């Protein structure tokens, strides 16, 4: 009889759905290895702060893409991307920035 209870308990546990793991759609490790980009010391618009995340820039022809990563549950997740023309980027943010 005790073996049947143990077996029943084991089967019940197996039937429960597994806890879902949270993951980034695009994490920085995958991005780093697969997307050409420049590492920059600060985000062009100042967000997120270095404590909350970081940015990378991609340049293709006369277009600049700002990739924003934020720290979430121990991972660095891509949370936003903004594409601007190079002249628009330079007009908006200038050619230099202050490193934090």
Asked if 75 and 24 count as a contact pair (C-beta separation under 8 A), the reply is yes
**Structural domain span for residue 40:** 23-93
14 occurs within a structural domain: no
- Distance CA(41)–CA(13), nearest Å, equals 48
22-65: pLDDT as tens digits = 899 999 999 999 999 999 999 998 899 999 999 999 999 999 99
- Note the pLDDT of residue 22: 83
Where residue 5 falls among pLDDT bands split at 50, 70, 90? very low
4 occurs within a structural domain: no
How many domains would you assign to the chain?
A: 1
What CA–CA distances, in Å, run from 38 to 18, 23, 67, 74, 98?
A: 39, 24, 10, 23, 16
Mean pLDDT in the chain? 86
pTM: 0.77
In the predicted model, is pLDDT for residue 100 greater than 90?
no
- Distance CA(48)–CA(78), nearest Å, equals 12
């Amino acid at each position: 009889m005790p073996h049947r209870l143990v077996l029943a308990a084991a089967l019940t546990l197996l039937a429960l759905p597994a806890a879902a793991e949270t993951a980034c759609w695009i994490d920085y490790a995958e991005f780093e290895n697969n997307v050409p980009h420049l590492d920059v010391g600060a985000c062009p618009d100042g967000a997120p702060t270095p404590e909350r995340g970081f940015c990378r820039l991609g340049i293709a022809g006369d277009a600049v893409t700002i990739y924003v990563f934020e720290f979430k549950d121990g991972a660095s997740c891509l949370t936003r991307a903004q594409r601007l023309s190079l002249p628009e980027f330079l007009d908006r943010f200038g050619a230099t920035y202050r490193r934090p």
